[in-house]
Amino acid sequence: MPVFAAIDIGSNSVRLSIAELRRGRLVPLHQDREVTRLGEGVFRDGNLDPQAMAHTLKVLRRFHRAVQSYAVEQTRVVATSALRDSHNSRLFAEWLKTATGWKLEIITGLEEGRLIHLGVISNLRTPAKLLLIDLGGGSCELTLSEKGHIKEIVTLPLGAVRLTQEFIQHDPPNKEELKRLHDFIGQEAGHIPRQITRSEVRTVIATSGTAAALVGAAQALRLSRSEGVTQTVVAKLVKRLAKLTVRQRAAIKGINPKRAQIIIAGAAVYAQVLHACALKGFRYSPLGLRDGILAQMAAEYDQHTRSHRQLESDREDVLLKTCRRYGVDLENAFHVRKLALSLFDQTRRLHALSRDSREWIAAAAMLYEVGMYINPAGLHRHAYYVISCSELFGFTPLQRKIIATVARFQGNSKPQLRDRLIKILPAQTRSDVIRSTAILRVARALNQGRRSAVASIQAKSRGGEIIISMKTGRGGADLELWAGEKEIPYFREVFGRELAFKLV
């Protein structure tokens, strides 16, 4: 059974989770965590502090030894707010690569929210409406979903470490510091979209260490008996904690010494968010970003997992949203995708492409005309720009680049290994991208008239030739036949096989 490792490099702490995929379920094998405060320097002067980097790398070397001891098949290392905002994140990534061989992924706040949602939703019964709140060291993500479909994600610069460093200088903080802190949080909370503030959601789950500390403190102070806290209780905690010193806060069960340093700012954020969104309270869950990373790896490995179904749903949602945003002809996009996937599935022995390539083709079939929104002239160049620069939930930056490349070459230009856009891709993907492009070009040609004249296709191999039989309606498909035949030379060049079309 495959073993996966997920590493979350946050602004406050670094976390490791190792799990094995057994019969479609992830079984935890090992977890580790250490507070390194990597984000402190970033929030002060825009750079990662050398000592914080050294401390973090020391912890990551320990994680590396654990990963090796469990014979992990795939490791994914993800960084969030601190490295998003720092000027010297590339230096840290190079040090990490040298020390462990791992490649660092710096994800956006929106992707962070999606992955947290994936981790939570893959382990819970899907509620009708769900709001997730994740308060880290550098940022706070709010994710609203309905029946598992993400409706809105917002990321705010309201991390507990960031706010503490910016506003709190005294222990305990004085009135002026608290006022500035609350005013700033209130200002940023005003940017929460109406879709969230007016959602009237009942299921609210908080996933951060700050949330765990607030729940623990509420229980210790006999303000709550459950795994959740109400808005009223959080407001009481904000007032009570602000009057205590770090040592006094750390003495409260549930708040460890490190958390005690940043808990005032974290509690203030939760109070403001609950108030701004008219929420009764929240329930704590230990699930978080690492669980989402593991769920994504499991989904990509095994299409029978629950997380795979959720990942497919996330991807379909974002493709439809992007198509609508850029005015794509959805009827054409759906039909081209149908023909492309049919051709892909029927010619597997010929192209020998992976399931990943099937995903690239499907996404590119939906998005290859987004460039029309900018200008019909050079639409495929514009499509490359739009796709590669868009936030496509469920697709990694590399996958977005691949999809953009397949879409880019759906016009007059045909990709060659010497082309710049092909050469910037990883070497092991280049020939697959070219073959994927050739398959989509044929499918696109078979809907040249945008009228679904070719209802379906059947592909058969006979000798050295691939024969595509096209089932058509009463209007015929002469235009599609002509367009398809124009793709024969490039198909021959890519696959070394002849291509023929037949109307049935």
* CATH numbers and ranges of domains, the chain: 3-108+290-296 (3.30.420.40), 124-286 (3.30.420.150), 326-447 (1.10.3210.10)
- 42 close to 86: Cβ distance less than 8 angstroms: yes
- C-beta pairs of 380-385 under 8 Å, 24+ apart in sequence: 380/407, 380/408, 380/409, 380/410, 380/411, 380/413, 381/408, 383/407, 383/408, 383/410, 384/408, 384/421
Using alpha carbons, list the distances in angstroms from residue 240 to 173, 233, 262, 263, 338: 12, 10, 14, 11, 60
Q: Which of 147, 150, 137, 141 is nearest to 209 (CA)?
A: 137
Average confidence (pLDDT) over 217-233: 89
- Rounded-to-integer distance, Cα 183 and Cα 282, Å: 23
Q: Between vectors from CA 198 to CA 195 and to CA 181, what angle results, nearest 5°?
A: 90
Q: Per-residue confidence at 36, pLDDT binned at 50, 70, 90?
A: very high
pLDDT band, residue 228 (cuts 50/70/90)? confident
- Please give the Cα distance from 400 to 205 (Å, whole number): 30
* Tens-digit pLDDT profile for residues 347-384: 999 999 988 999 999 999 999 999 999 999 999 999 99
Q: Look at residue 224 and tell me whether its pLDDT is greater than 90.
A: no
State residue 122's pLDDT score.
87
Give 249's pLDDT tier (boundaries 50, 70, 90): very high
235 confidence band (pLDDT: 50, 70, 90): very high
Calpha distance 326→141 (Å, rounded):
26
Residue 39 pLDDT? 87
Average pLDDT over residues 164-178: 93
Mean pLDDT, residues 474-490 taken together: 93
Element (H, E) at 31: strand 25-35
**pLDDT attached to residue 340:** 97
At 392, phi and psi to the nearest 5? Answer: -100, 100
Reading the block at residue 63, the tokens are 């994680």
d(CA 496, CA 484): 17
**Cα 141 vs. chain centroid, distance in angstroms?**
13
Strands (E), 140-279: 140-146, 149-156, 203-206, 228-230
Give the pLDDT mean for 235-260.
93
- Structure-token match 């903080």, residue found: 173
CA–CA gap between residue 173 and residue 378 (Å, rounded): 58
Whose CA is closest to 291, among 444, 91, 122?
Answer: 122
Half-sphere exposure of 365 (CA within 13 A, CB side): 32
What average pLDDT is seen over the chain?
93
Residue 388 one-letter amino acid: S
Pairwise CA distance, residues 347 & 398, whole Å: 25
End-to-end CA, the chain:
47
CB atoms within 10 A of CB 327: 11
Q: For the segment 60-98, what is each residue's pLDDT rounded down to a tens digit?
A: 999 999 999 999 999 999 999 899 999 999 999 999 999
Cα–Cα distances (Å) from 195 to 134, 231, 325, 359, in that order, read 18, 20, 18, 30
Report the predicted TM-score, pTM, of the whole model to 2 decimal places.
0.86
Parallel, antiparallel, or unpaired: how do β-strands 25-35 and 129-135 relate? unpaired
- Sign (positive or negative) of CA dihedral 58, 62, 68, 72: negative
Give mean pLDDT, residues 426-437. 95
Distances in whole angstroms, Cα of residue 200 to Cα of each of 25, 207, 277, 308: 32, 20, 8, 29
Can you tell me whether residue 411 is helix, strand or coil? coil
Both tokens assigned to 57 = 């790398």
Percent of the chain with pLDDT over 70: 100
The two tokens of residue 317 are 């949602």
Q: Of 224, 205, 223, 209, which is closest to residue 255 (Cα–Cα)?
A: 209
What is the model's pLDDT at position 42?
A: 86
> Residues 310, 311, 313, 315: what is their CA dihedral angle, to the nearest 10 degrees?
170
Q: What local confidence, expressed as pLDDT, does residue 19 receive?
A: 96
**pLDDT tens sequence across 90-143:** 999 999 999 999 999 999 988 999 999 999 998 888 888 999 999 999 999 999
CA distance 179 to 242: 11
Alpha-carbon dihedral angle through residues 478, 484, 486, 489, given to the nearest 10 degrees: -150
Q: Is the dihedral of CA 232, 237, 238, 239 positive or negative?
A: positive
Minimal CA–CA distance to 131: which of 122, 140, 142? 142
Q: What DSSP state is assigned to residue 245?
A: -
The reported pLDDT for the residue numbered 343 is 97
Return the pLDDT at 387: 97
Residue for token digits 């499918």? 443
Cis peptide before 489 (omega within 30 of 0): no
Q: Is the pLDDT confidence value at 226 over 90?
A: no
**pLDDT value of residue 117:** 94
pLDDT band at 391 (very low <50, low <70, confident <90, very high): confident
